[in-house]
């Protein structure tokens, strides 16, 4: 986690030492060391015996990596689940049991991360004590890099407000628990961190609406809270709740907050609204790239973009997105390159092997490298494309289109989802907006124009009539949150509204449209 391991030295001196140590690390050497170590540690597991990890771990890195890639296929979550985990799941009338013992990682997996649902099924991702410790190291390195460059920071001795999921965890049998990864991190933190981390129980496990209100009151009442961490759309909701409760601009109401740490989804659609709320206030932002599977990157304070951080228990491989099929998945034998083989500007799907027992696992995120000196990256979204008509529109392009709408219309769009309308061969957008006046026809034209400019395939398909003019539905902001809570059963914490409908025929978009009609009559473009 974040703070008190620095207490063996004066905090600023300790932060400087740790930051310098981080900045001296060699990403390529770290990966060369990490892969054989992971293989060696897992050699006696069932997975390790199946694929001959003991033999591989003894080889020089280049041969080790090559043979590892030849022996172990790339797997999506569903393939990994079917091949290795599904047979260990038991369902009873009182719940489910899933115990993974010496299967893909030595010992028993103590926690299972339930993902936030940006893809349709619920996923159970193994989360080990080793991965927990690596995540703590990453967070501490990120904070130390910040403190080392901010000598006047008020963070030392302060608190962090961590917008995690509900800390209510499921019992999965024999001491195994399942829940949101952020909630596991919050709930299982070392006891000595308790006085530095909010919220505490019972607020931490309360329903989302109560938690949101409670966290807003904490920000208003506890002047020691200096850091806020969460997913951009939920951070925005919290900032708005603070303004509602205080009847003041956010920075006037909460002058003590110094740093917002955000990740989990692109900031692009929300940047204008954040600027409106905290413009010229001195509030700083840092981006990180966490996941239930592994910690992948963070922004060093003072740098414009994130760095890949291949030091925290995950071996990285990268598959060019041109090799992905029309579902956004790579073939089992797709050509993947280790970190030393990446090309600047190429967009890659990320393949992970981790200290939680995932091996050549296709995580579903994509990124682009911006340089080779620090391996700075741009997060380019999920590798689920808006592609039901073979148009291959990326999540990044979708989010940039909404960002363009927000720049022109004073950040009226707060959340959104887009998916296919198969029968009409067009895209169907639902934009959740704060109060204001937008013409759905004009917005549809603007979104269409932006995508045609940014994506040549989409533009060609539009010219040829293979894709029709998009449809836009405008709904009140609260509608999309009510739908996510009542229909999807997901709201708050690290849960995210999927910006691209992951279902084959646009079931989520249809569900939201039906829900909206049941509570009000939205404006619709033709």
In the Cβ-directed half-sphere of 67, how many Cα atoms lie within 13 Å? 16
Do residues 467 and 427 lie in contact, with contact meaning Cβ atoms separated by under 8 Å?
Answer: yes
Give the residue, 267 or 177, on which the prediction is more confident.
Answer: 177
Residue 300, pLDDT > 80, answer yes
Q: Closest Cα to residue 161, out of 261, 295, 270?
A: 261
Average pLDDT, stretch 76-97? 89
Give the residue, 88 or 193, on which the prediction is more confident.
Answer: 88
Q: What is the pLDDT of residue 8?
A: 42
Average pLDDT, stretch 281-298? 94
Interatomic CA distance for residues 210 and 166, integer angstroms? 11
Average pLDDT, stretch 69-76? 97
Q: What is the pLDDT of residue 10?
A: 79
Provide CATH code, domain 4-25+130-172+187-298. Answer: 3.40.50
Residue 434, pLDDT > 90, answer no
192 pLDDT band (50/70/90 cuts)? Answer: confident
Q: What is the pLDDT of residue 494?
A: 59
- Taking only Cα atoms into account, the Rg of the chain, rounded to an integer number of angstroms, comes to 23
Q: What is the pLDDT of residue 80?
A: 96
DSSP string over 195-258? GGEE--TTGGGS-HHHHHHHHHHHHHH-TTEEEEEE-HHHHHHHHHHHHHHHTS-HHHH-TT--
Q: What is the pLDDT of residue 280?
A: 77
Q: Is the CATH number of domain 395-524 2.60.120?
A: no
Q: Which of 180-194, 300-314, 397-411, 460-474 has the lowest mean pLDDT?
A: 180-194
Every domain of the chain and the residues it spans: 4-25+130-172+187-298, 395-524
Question: What 3-state DSSP class applies to 287?
Answer: strand
Q: What is the pLDDT of residue 452?
A: 94
Residue 405, pLDDT > 90, answer yes
| Total-model pTM | 0.83
505 pLDDT band (50/70/90 cuts)? Answer: confident
- Each residue's pLDDT tens digit, 36-46: 999 999 999 99
């Amino acid at each position: 986690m974040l703070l008190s391991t620095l207490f063996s030295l004066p905090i600023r001196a300790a932060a400087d030492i740790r930051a310098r140590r981080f900045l001296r690390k060699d990403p390529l050497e770290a990966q060369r060391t990490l892969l054989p170590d992971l293989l060696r540690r897992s050699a006696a597991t069932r997975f390790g015996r199946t694929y001959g990890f003991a033999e591989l771990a003894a080889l020089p890195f280049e041969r080790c990596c090559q043979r590892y890639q030849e022996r172990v296929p790339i797997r999506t979550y569903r393939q990994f689940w079917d091949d290795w985990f599904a047979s260990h799941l038991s369902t009873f009338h009182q719940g489910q049991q899933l115990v993974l013992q010496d299967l893909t990682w030595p010992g028993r997996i103590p926690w299972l991360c339930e993902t936030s649902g940006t893809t349709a099924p619920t996923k159970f991702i193994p989360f080990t004590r080793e991965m927990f410790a690596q995540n703590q190291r990453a967070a501490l390195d990120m904070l130390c890099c910040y403190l080392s460059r901010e000598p006047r920071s008020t963070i030392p001795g302060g608190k962090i407000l961590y917008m995690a999921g509900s800390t209510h965890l499921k019992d999965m049998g024999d001491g195994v628990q399942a829940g949101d990864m952020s909630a596991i991190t919050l709930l299982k933190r070392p006891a000595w961190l308790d006085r530095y981390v909010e919220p505490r129980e019972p607020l931490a496990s309360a329903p989302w609406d109560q938690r949101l209100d409670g966290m807003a009151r904490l920000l208003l009442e506890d002047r020691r809270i200096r850091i806020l961490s969460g997913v951009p759309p939920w951070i925005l909701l919290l900032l708005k709740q603070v303004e509602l409760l205080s009847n003041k601009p956010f920075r006037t109401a909460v002058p003590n907050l110094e740093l917002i740490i955000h990740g989990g989804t692109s900031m692009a659609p929300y940047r204008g609204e954040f600027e409106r709320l905290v413009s010229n206030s001195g509030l700083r932002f840092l981006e990180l790239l966490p996941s239930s599977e592994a910690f992948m990157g963070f922004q060093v304070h003072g740098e414009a973009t994130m760095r890949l951080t291949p030091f925290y228990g995950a071996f990285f491989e990268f598959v060019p997105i041109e090799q992905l099929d029309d579902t956004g998945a790579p073939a089992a034998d797709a050509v993947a390159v280790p970190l030393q083989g990446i090309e600047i500007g190429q967009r890659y799907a990320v393949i992970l092997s981790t200290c939680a027992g995932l091996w050549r696992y296709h995580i579903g995120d994509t990124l682009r490298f911006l340089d080779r000196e620090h391996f700075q990256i741009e997060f380019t979204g999920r590798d689920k494309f808006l592609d039901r008509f073979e148009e291959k529109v990326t999540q990044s392009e979708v989010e940039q289109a909404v960002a363009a709408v927000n720049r022109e219309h004073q950040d009226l769009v707060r959340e959104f989802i887009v998916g296919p309308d198969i029968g009409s061969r067009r895209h169907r957008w639902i934009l959740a907006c704060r109060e204001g006046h937008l013409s759905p026809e004009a917005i549809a034209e603007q979104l269409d124009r932006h995508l045609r400019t940014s994506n040549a395939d989409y533009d060609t398909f539009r010219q040829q009539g293979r894709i029709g003019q998009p449809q836009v539905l405008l709904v009140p902001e609260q509608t999309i949150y009510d739908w996510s809570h009542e229909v999807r059963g997901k709201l708050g914490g690290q849960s995210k509204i999927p910006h691209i409908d992951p279902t084959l025929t646009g079931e989520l978009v249809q569900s939201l449209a039906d829900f909206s009609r049941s509570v009000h009559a939205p404006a619709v473009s033709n």
